[in-house]
Amino acid sequence: MGINLVEKIDDFVKVRHLLVSVSDKSGLDEFIPQLIEINSEIKIFSTGGTYGRIKDILGKKADACLTQVSDYTGQPETQGGLVKTLDFKIYLGLLTETYNDSHQSDLKRTQAVAIDMVIVNLYPFKETVSKSGVSVEQARGNIDIGGPCMIRAAAKNFLRVASAVDPSDYTMILSEMKKNKGATSLELRFRLAQKAFSHTADYDRAIADFLRSQSFAGVKSCYNN
């Protein structure tokens, strides 16, 4: 099967569906209400602690716009949040292309929606492994899987999807959306994609460097019965 090449896109894409799953929740208390002020019809999908935080921020308004990812996908989170967002409906929503008829048919078939923005940052792996005496098992538990997958999917599809990994970018995103009637521009989405791929590359490099620094004896000692 050949690579799908896109020849037609929209410069400006209105943000109607938003996926939020963050380890660093700073800035959400200002960012989320302002998004809804820009577009009162926006729908937010979220997980775990992030869902709880957004629900607290919005209060009664949450009923109209906030949905747990598990309710959207029909798949409950696994124990400890091990699997939350790795679902076909999520990735179809992130990767679908506006002018691809087959993609649009898949959305209808699965009752999925196109996701226009992803707000995701990752488990604090560097912070975990910088602590004195951290074990390989403690480090392993802080390797984020769903987060990098969502970031990469959104950033790959910068033709339509905005991928925000840094709370310091929230103000810039809001400013552009206010200026463009709730839409993001291709230029902004491309800039965010550049930052997103740098973010996941740095994350993977930190994991690789840590594992390379460990001895097998240290690994084995974590699992002695």
What's the pLDDT tens digit per position in 114-171?
999 999 998 778 888 888 888 888 889 888 888 999 999 999 999 999 999 999 999 9
pLDDT for 69-128, tens place per residue?
Answer: 999 988 766 655 555 667 889 999 999 988 888 878 888 898 899 999 999 998 778 888
Radius of gyration of the chain (CA): 19
CATH domain 12-217 topology: Rossmann fold (3.40.50)
User: Hey, where are the domains in the chain?
Assistant: 12-217
pTM above 0.75, yes or no: yes
CA distance 132 to 149: 29
CB-CB contact of 81 with 48 (8 Å): yes
- Give the DSSP H/E element, type plus range, for residue 108: helix 101-110
